[in-house]
Structure 1
């Protein structure tokens, strides 16, 4: 799995220009068909996604090129899922109210929250490493009240560090999460 930008035309141009590298061996990735099309639920309605597949010219491994707005094995876009996680971290309300606000089934949202809660410490540690790598003099966030909130706070700090370091007007939290985790924030295993 390789995370790429959302613009499919740009991904095609990068494949043709041999600009994408294999995460395993560093070899050049070449186009190799498409993954199964799927429909993702986004905040503004359904999005049809048919991710590009690639094959490494060096080791022969195949990779799905996952757009930066999607998480592995999820029917909702990362923006929806991260919004639920942020609401929980802010202790806005319980999972049922969060689900109602997002227009998603309560059991689905509860699953996201439970999965993230089980991985919160590992996520916090991973993003803390990224924060230290991005900022020469990082200000590490203090305790936010729970492991869940601590993880979301350091994710927000990494997004801010990316904005400052690369002079971006914005770095959406959901895209930062997908990029740093390779789309595997809530993936099994």
Structure 2
């Protein structure tokens, strides 16, 4: 099965829905708030947020490097206060850099493609060093 840019591996919800919940959490909103706005069960959103938090540092590093590869003139990405929010900020910076370099339509679809659909991987971080 091919994974479109609108989804993530083993997730049936659209990547933009998951992205909405990630951004809301980074801004201080709880999982119930996002679940109510998205019309999905609270347990689903809580699961997304927990899974993302598990690999937040690896996600931050991956997308920070990717953002600067796409735009070497990007300023330093300043810490936001939590590892979760730092990772979301790096993902956003990379998506914006992709948008500027590759044209419209990047956004969360870019995030899905850049992570091979594994930004919420439950079998270990897809970017962790091996060996």
**Counterpart pick for 2:66 among 110, 118, 130:** 130
Please report the RMSD computed on the Cα atoms of aligned residues, expressed in angstroms.
Answer: 1.2
**Counterpart pick for 1:110 among 32, 41, 46:** 46
Q: Is the 8 A contact 1:140 1:154 kept in 2?
A: no
Tell me by how many angstroms 1:129 deviates. Answer: 1.3
Q: Flag the structure with more relative contact order, 1 or 2, with Cα contacts below 8 A and sequence separation at least 6.
A: 2
Q: Distance in 2 between matches of 1:163 and 1:96?
A: 30
Count of residues in Structure 1 that have an aligned counterpart in Structure 2: 123
**Counterpart pick for 1:148 among 77, 84, 102:** 84
Q: Structure 2 length as normaliser, TM-score?
A: 0.87
Q: Distance in 2 between matches of 1:165 and 1:140?
A: 18
Map of 2:117 onto structure 1: 183
Map of 1:101 onto structure 2: 37
Q: Distance in 2 between matches of 1:184 and 1:170?
A: 20
Q: Structure 1 length as normaliser, TM-score?
A: 0.62
Q: Say which structure is richer in helix.
A: 2
Q: Distance in 2 between matches of 1:75 and 1:175?
A: 15
Structure 2: state its 5+ residue gaps: 124-131
Superposed counterparts of 1:13-162, under 5 Å: 64-91=1-28, 93-162=29-98
Structure 1: state its 5+ residue gaps: 1-63
Q: Is the 8 A contact 2:15 2:109 kept in 1?
A: yes
Cα-to-partner distance string for 1:96-131 (whole Å, 9 max, x where unaligned)? 121111111011110100110111000000101101
| Structure 1 runs of 4+ with >6 Å offset | none
Cα-to-partner distance string for 1:25-54 (whole Å, 9 max, x where unaligned)? xxxxxxxxxxxxxxxxxxxxxxxxxxxxxx
Q: Distance in 2 between matches of 1:127 and 1:71?
A: 16
